[in-house]
Structure 1
Amino acid sequence: MNVKAQKADDFDTKIKDLTKFTGYFNFYWDEKSGKILLEIDKFDQEFLYVNSLPAGVGSNDLGLDRGQIGNSRIVKFIKSGPKVLLVQPNYSYRAISDNADERKSVEEAFAQSAIWGTTVLAQDGDKVLVDFTPFLLRDSHKIADRLNDNNQGSFGFDESRSAVYLRNTKDFPDNSEFEATITLAGKGKGYEISSVTPDANAVTVRMHQSFIKLPDGNYKQRKFDPRSGYYDVDYMDYATPIDQPIMKRMLTRHRLQKKDPTAAMSEPVNPIVYYVDRGAPEPVRSALIEGASWWNQAFEAAGYKNAFQVKLLPADVDPMDIRYNIIQWVHRSTRGWSYGESITDPRTGEIIKGQVSLGSLRDRQDFLIAEGLVQPYEDGKPTSDKMLKLALARLRQLAAHEVGHTLGLQHNFTASVNGRASVMDYPPPVISLNTDGTIDLSKAYRTEIGEYDKRAILYGYQDFVNGTNEDDALKGIITETIKQGFLFISDDDARPAGSAHPQAHLWDSGANAADELNRLMVLRKHVLDNFSEKAIRQDAPMATLEEVLVPMYLIHRFQAEATSKMLGGLYYTFALKNDGQTITRFVPPAEQWKAFNALMGTITPDALALPEKLIAMIPPRPIGYPRTRETFKSHTGLTFDPMAAAESAAGATLSFMLQPERAARLVEYQSRDNTQPGLLPVLNKLVAQTWKVPQPTGYKGELQRLVNNLTLKQILTLAATTNAPASVRGIALLQIDDLKKWMQTAVVTATDSRKANLLFGLAEIKQFEYNPDKFEPAHTLNMPDGSPIGME
């Protein structure tokens, strides 16, 4: 027998009596040993490798959810003697050239990564057999690192408690899917991991790994434009002529083509179809299908008929199958973020699969908000359906939002100023007060796709007739979008506390942030003045009024932060050279002072006070209903503390106003334009409207003194922080010195509580002066978690 025949015999012997899975990569299951043997017949042939988490940890804070997609990497198997390596080429650096030597020079200039290696078990011609089990039985999702980094304990992979999960190990023509039950063992100590595991010392999840055939070469890349609202893939192309940019940027999108590109309206060659998780209950399921389907309106505006479809996932379909875009319903122990993720070809930006994960507790938060607004539980009367309608309206918008990410779109946090022009913004419910004193929720959320969204889809998915100059056509789309008044500003310009754009924020509404804050404060007062036990169900503990009260008391929290961005704010665009947009523009001084006044209106005693009858309704927490991250902190032990609620709200507003980057801009902008407010005038006015106003008596007097102390604390913090430039710290020091002299005079004639307030302020200043660099004021109580939880 020749050597070749001997090798074939060895191969056949190894797989004899094993269960064969036929597909993209054939593999074999050995029931006796619990091993997977992989048949490799594609050497030096690139494919996509993706790891994911089909069964997660269940904590929003840890960010390890069911269905989470990990990394997408192009890899290939290479063989050298008995060794097989799985190698990841370096696609960040390329040479797009017909010259093989030029391509080779770049390939050899940068490191690749061998992400796994093994030894051949048997060979038959050009195919080999390897034990694939060690590749599957490992912490491919790096969960142990995440737990360790988040102070949840010390964990490591435990092979003895891990095994192949055959039920979700499958083979398809274009993808091979492998899954394993993985246990991370160690010593769990964190609250988050303890709250979601039966035994915090053993975290058992499932990890999925996919080998996916790369798309064919017929996908046409589209040029990325920073004004377009899309995500991008980028790489350096060393074959680029020296007079052209070496960095190439392409937007991410699905492949979509018209059957008839010359027709104004045409069906697609292949539609984009999304499938909704069968585990979503009704009426949630129908809301998700309806909301996600809004995107078909945008594709119709781009000239496609039935190009975007949403269906219920067939019962026999595996949601991990690469051929199916999925909208899944994810459960966690707390409400949390939802996600729209994609598996994308790193070479081109083509989206291969979209995967949406929607947190199942988000709708309950909207229901809770509606309970506080509607006060629906009246004895002997049927319960209103307004809460359910609000929650489902939010779910429709949320489904559309997260699907938008999987179509390639980023957030657009300026859409709220333009009539809620995009589902890619973060929307608060738009609530109004009827003339009869009732709350109107009928226009809380969008009921269709936004006009900006249609423009964005037009840029990303318009199918151009042959002969069209695509660069010119795309520029024309952007130019028209700008002409229509739409602006794109995303995460990096909206999320940071010190961000400057006065129109870019999360969970804000209205064309002008200050005007909307003033409107919202009127509505808030009405709600709080009429808040009662009708906000909770029959037989609910009276203490649980607090859970409904929290989002009502803090209903202005995000609008206040948005308003603070007008102060020391800067209008700007992602302008390209000669595109006609205004590049930068100061916020007019009158608008900044309007914002200042609106913010000060949120920290007056009248704004912070709760009705006495409401305070008296909230007893200490009963057994089984402990305080949570969703309730107010307390300085008073077991009892409800209205002063602590006020501290959390007022402290947040003051920190927004005197954030170090904002203070630095106030100084800089006034130096360039003396009509700008400037930091010192802002501090002077702030002190004049807190410490120096006549002090009320009683409960409201205590609230005013609370705000006084918070104001001083914030100015002292600004003077002490090394994150602020010397000019800011110097101005803060000047204000502290002036306030100290005023206090020293005022304390002589002050009596009782007023005198105590002044003496405490002077003591704080003295402590600061003793060692400014090490001064740390007492911690201000934070608001209960907000957006959507665990982020404050």
Structure 2
Amino acid sequence: MKKILLFCIAASLFSAASTTAQKKKKSKKGKTEQTAPAQKQKKGDIKNYSQVVTKDAVTDNGLFTVHKVDKKYLYEIPFSKLNKDMLWVTRIAKIPTGLGGGYMNAGSKTNEQLVHWVRFQDKILLKAKSYDNVADSSKAISASVKVNNYEPTLFAFDIEAFNTDSTSVVVDVTALFNTDVPAISGLSSRLRKTYKVKRLDPKRSFINSVKSFPENIEVKQDFTFNASEPSTLRATESISLQINQSMILLPEQPMQPRIFDPRVGFFTVSQYDFGSDELKADKKTYIRRWRLEPKDPEAYARGELVEPIKPIVYYLDPGTPENLKEYIKQGIEDWQKPFETAGFKNAIIARDAPTPEEDPEFSPEDIRYSMIRYVASTTRNAVGPSVSDPRSGEIIESDIIWYHNHLRSYRNRYLLETGAANPNARTLNTKPKEIGDMMRMVIAHEVGHALGYPHNMAASYAYPVDSLRNGEFTQKNGIAASIMDYARYNYIAQPGDKNIRFIRQMGPYDHYVTNWGYRYLAANSPEAEVPTLSKWILEKADNPIYKFGRQSSRFDPQSQTEGLGDDPVKASSYGVKNLKYVAKNLSNWTSDQTNNYDDLEELYGELLGVYSRYAGHVVTNIGGVFENLKTPKQNGPVYTPLSKTKQKESMKWLQDNVFSTQSWLVDNAILQNIDYAGYPENLRKVQARHLNGVLSADRIGRLLDAETTNKTYYSALEMLSDLRKGIWKEAYIGKSADIYRRNLQRTYLERMGTLLNAKNSSRSSFNVTTSDVSSLVRGELKTLRSKLKVAKNGSINTVTRYHYEDAIAKIDQALEAK
């Protein structure tokens, strides 16, 4: 009996010890690994490891161990990797022609999301995760944040087996990658609707490869969708894509964020902190930037240039034309100098992609590598997207996209904008060195985006207009204070100006913003950095070359796309003067050389676009409001309306250079060789765009706002009166109106009728229906009607008389409709 009792006790102790050992097991590195808790298993539910991962398995070790067994792919997930933050990025690896309208390509990111793998009973769940709402886990409110931000499950997997020492779980991920999971499919709902996608065809879809690396897993899938209206080869009724799925383990300890300040330009990530001491959900915004830390902190602190622990490396697409590689590399490494301002040397490096012999595992879609993608596409564009950690703003990787036909855009703009003063631009065969310099600057601009910098549209306003006619100044300072502005060419310089730099380059703001965002500060929290960062801003606050201007501004004359110089009226005067010279010589530089009219037609259309941009810069002055972002401790208001004098000068410029007939744009030597009809309409469209712009409800609203702050500003009534008298000038001086003016005057009546019945818009900053807009418009139309009734009986031609009678009828109709 005693023997039996002792045996039972021993068996009990052995069972307890065994259970304890199963719960915790020391790894070889001395760390404790989480293991699978013992569970009661149903027979046949969870198999033995050897039944699932058979001797025929092809195994790849890495973040997860990946096994390929026959046609199945298995992930062996360590329990230590469950609940860890991972970034999942979906990219297109191969794409059919035209999909997405020309702005999608091999390398395009279609989705970016944070995920984690979670165990629930006998399943492993792949769940999307958000850091939009957060709270310190030590605070009670963190529980509320968790239950009110429940995470969606992207996919659920049955547990197939545990590994032999119960430290990992095995799941079959085949179904995740060979079925149509919208979050990772590569085809948005918009594209599915556009191309009438019906379903994924499983017989023509398959997993191409799954590769596991120490911190990431890369999966390539070939998908074929049945689609009624594909972008190409429509008879096939199919869309085939190759998709790359990247999943990368994020750092256990996120990079220390840097708090965003709107006075300096950065892309951002934001979170609402419910655990803040503020009496609200405290919105915290951090800049997006790469993690640059000095190898030698002590030398860095002494002011020495120090290499970063991990530099930013860009690889060139293997498909990059050989003659352009030099310029692309220069565009990348042009940022080395601004990084030196921030204390780092060799912080950003350009390299050729390794050959298959050098690295058979290398893939442009691998999230470990940042690429300059060269896309064989007729699209004319370049972009600089990046992937970042939503917890901290740390940029993980980026792909710069250059579309091949963008070279043609730069050739055309070079000819049109600088041809008057620059003999080298008067050709369709721009010199390779000059094209290379243009491309270098575009790559530098796009790399700037990938470093975290948005467009700085105030950088072109930093320099006085006439300084851009000075050779010494432009060679030293370029044409704008930052490469991140849309200041591509010097269209200010006039014929006879010497030693001019016509192509943009890096500027002082680029050094300033890089130092502000990337200088390593030995602070123990983001908040501790703020006094130093604010001090740097205040030191530069009164110098326009360090000003940041938002691209989203539609009202600030300082922050305009494609603008140059600090005076839009003077700059556009120079620009139009140069365009007149170019228009006069356009046939000689194009069709006379090629013996066809293709380039003439293309460049004439783009010339109208360039002219329209110059006009638009002046339109912004009407109702213009300067935005100078500052804190309450800085002197002066944030928003200041443009002076009445400058606005009236701008109105006169528009009457003389846009609304009066621009006969130089209606050159029969061009038009009769490129089109059979529509000559007056070409000019009317440009005029209508800017007339409608002047007569926008928002612009009139800003003029009304300005009247409430200062009676000396240009009033809405005075602006409308000046515009009416200019547009209908012939009626006031008793002169007949030509066809171009009659077209413009009808456009005026159409727009005024629209304003008379204007409704509130979600984009508008004031209530249109209860404002003075309709009463001002009504009064202007009545005043005009009275003038036309007199003018139609004057000494004018028959067509003008009929036109005035028709205009009176249209006014009556608009007033009655209201």
TM range (shorter): 0.7 to 0.9
Are residues 1:576 and 2:631 paired? Answer: yes
Are residues 1:476 and 2:522 paired? Answer: no
Tell me the CA shift for residue 644 of structure 1.
1.8
Match of 1:741 in 2: 786
> Contact 1:390–1:444 (CA<8 Å) still a contact in 2?
no
Shift in alpha-carbon separation, 1:423–1:249, aligned structure 2, 3 A: same
Structure 1 distance, partners of 2:493, 2:458, is 25
> Contact 1:415–1:422 (CA<8 Å) still a contact in 2?
yes
Tell me the CA shift for residue 578 of structure 1.
1.0
User: Mapping of 1:316-465 within 5 angstroms?
Assistant: 316=359, 317-336=362-381, 338-372=382-416, 386=430, 388-419=432-463, 420-432=480-492, 434-435=494-495, 443-447=501-505, 449-464=506-521
> Contact 2:306–2:345 (CA<8 Å) still a contact in 1?
yes
User: Mapping of 1:513-528 within 5 angstroms?
Assistant: 513-528=568-583
Alignment size in residue pairs? 728
User: Mapping of 1:180-191 within 5 angstroms?
Assistant: 180-188=221-229
Q: Which has the higher contact order (CA 8 A, sep 6+)?
A: 1
From 596, 609, 621, the equivalent of 1:541 is 596
Are residues 1:135 and 2:190 paired? Answer: no
Are residues 1:21 and 2:60 paired? Answer: yes
Q: Is there any run of 5+ residues in structure 1 with no aligned partner, and where?
A: 377-381, 494-498, 621-638, 773-792
Structure 2 distance, partners of 1:116, 1:441, is 63
- Give the AA of the match of 2:322: E
- Give the AA of the match of 1:760: D
> Contact 2:314–2:350 (CA<8 Å) still a contact in 1?
yes
From 476, 487, 493, the equivalent of 2:547 is 487
Shift in alpha-carbon separation, 1:143–1:551, aligned structure 2, 3 A: same
Tell me the CA shift for residue 589 of structure 1.
0.7
Structure 1 distance, partners of 2:220, 2:315, is 21
From 798, 811, 814, the equivalent of 1:752 is 798
> Contact 1:49–1:210 (CA<8 Å) still a contact in 2?
yes
> Contact 2:63–2:216 (CA<8 Å) still a contact in 1?
yes
Shift in alpha-carbon separation, 1:737–1:727, aligned structure 2, 3 A: same
Are residues 1:159 and 2:202 paired? Answer: yes
Shift in alpha-carbon separation, 1:373–1:398, aligned structure 2, 3 A: closer
Tell me the CA shift for residue 705 of structure 1.
1.9
> Contact 1:414–1:505 (CA<8 Å) still a contact in 2?
yes
Q: Which moved more, 1:718-727 or 1:659-668?
A: 718-727
Shift in alpha-carbon separation, 1:61–1:479, aligned structure 2, 3 A: farther
Structure with greater helix share of residues: 2
Render the CA deviation track for 1:512-533: whole Å, top value 9, x for unaligned: 1121111111111111123214
Are residues 1:300 and 2:340 paired? Answer: yes
Tell me the CA shift for residue 710 of structure 1.
2.1
Are residues 1:81 and 2:121 paired? Answer: yes
Structure 2 distance, partners of 1:696, 1:96, is 74
Shift in alpha-carbon separation, 1:768–1:134, aligned structure 2, 3 A: farther
| Structure 1 residue matching 2:610: 3-state secondary structure | coil
Structure 1 distance, partners of 2:777, 2:399, is 49
From 615, 618, 622, the equivalent of 2:670 is 615
Structure 1 distance, partners of 2:743, 2:92, is 47
Are residues 1:270 and 2:310 paired? Answer: yes
Shift in alpha-carbon separation, 1:173–1:699, aligned structure 2, 3 A: farther
Tell me the CA shift for residue 605 of structure 1.
4.4
From 249, 259, 264, the equivalent of 1:223 is 259
Shift in alpha-carbon separation, 1:539–1:562, aligned structure 2, 3 A: closer
Tell me the CA shift for residue 414 of structure 1.
0.9
> Contact 2:418–2:502 (CA<8 Å) still a contact in 1?
no
Tell me the CA shift for residue 383 of structure 1.
6.3
Tell me the CA shift for residue 178 of structure 1.
0.7
Tell me the CA shift for residue 729 of structure 1.
1.9
Match of 2:817 in 1: 771
- Give the AA of the match of 1:330: V
| Structure 1 residue matching 2:399: 3-state secondary structure | strand
Render the CA deviation track for 1:80-131: whole Å, top value 9, x for unaligned: 333221123342222235x276644432342222121122233322323322
**Length-normalised TM-score, structure 2:** 0.82
- Give the AA of the match of 1:423: I
Shift in alpha-carbon separation, 1:587–1:155, aligned structure 2, 3 A: farther
Shift in alpha-carbon separation, 1:442–1:393, aligned structure 2, 3 A: farther
> Contact 2:551–2:561 (CA<8 Å) still a contact in 1?
no
- Give the AA of the match of 2:302: A
Are residues 1:722 and 2:782 paired? Answer: no
Tell me the CA shift for residue 735 of structure 1.
1.0
Match of 1:711 in 2: 748
| Structure 2 residue matching 1:563: 3-state secondary structure | helix
Structure 1 distance, partners of 2:325, 2:591, is 27
Q: Is there any run of 5+ residues in structure 2 with no aligned partner, and where?
A: 1-37, 421-425, 464-479, 761-767
Tell me the CA shift for residue 295 of structure 1.
1.0
Structure 2 distance, partners of 1:557, 1:525, is 13
Shift in alpha-carbon separation, 1:602–1:285, aligned structure 2, 3 A: farther
| Structure 1 residue matching 2:727: 3-state secondary structure | coil
Shift in alpha-carbon separation, 1:432–1:28, aligned structure 2, 3 A: same
> Contact 1:182–1:204 (CA<8 Å) still a contact in 2?
yes
> Contact 2:734–2:791 (CA<8 Å) still a contact in 1?
no
> Contact 1:90–1:111 (CA<8 Å) still a contact in 2?
no
Identity of aligned residues (%): 23
Shift in alpha-carbon separation, 1:660–1:466, aligned structure 2, 3 A: closer
> Contact 1:88–1:112 (CA<8 Å) still a contact in 2?
yes
Render the CA deviation track for 1:480-529: whole Å, top value 9, x for unaligned: 23233322122332xxxxx2111112111111112111111111111112
| Structure 2 residue matching 1:520: 3-state secondary structure | helix
Which is greater in Rg? 2
Are residues 1:684 and 2:721 paired? Answer: yes
Q: Which moved more, 1:500-509 or 1:463-472?
A: 463-472
Tell me the CA shift for residue 218 of structure 1.
6.6
| Structure 1 residue matching 2:483: 3-state secondary structure | coil
Shift in alpha-carbon separation, 1:375–1:680, aligned structure 2, 3 A: closer
Structure 2 distance, partners of 1:355, 1:60, is 18
| Structure 2 residue matching 1:395: 3-state secondary structure | helix
Render the CA deviation track for 1:145-170: whole Å, top value 9, x for unaligned: 12245x4445443333322122xx42
Are residues 1:203 and 2:239 paired? Answer: yes
Render the CA deviation track for 1:722-768: whole Å, top value 9, x for unaligned: 14344112211211121122222222334322113213323332442
Structure 1 distance, partners of 2:408, 2:84, is 48
> Contact 1:404–1:424 (CA<8 Å) still a contact in 2?
yes
Render the CA deviation track for 1:352-384: whole Å, top value 9, x for unaligned: 1122222222121111234556889xxxxx967
RMSD between superposed Cα atoms in Å: 3.2
Are residues 1:147 and 2:191 paired? Answer: yes
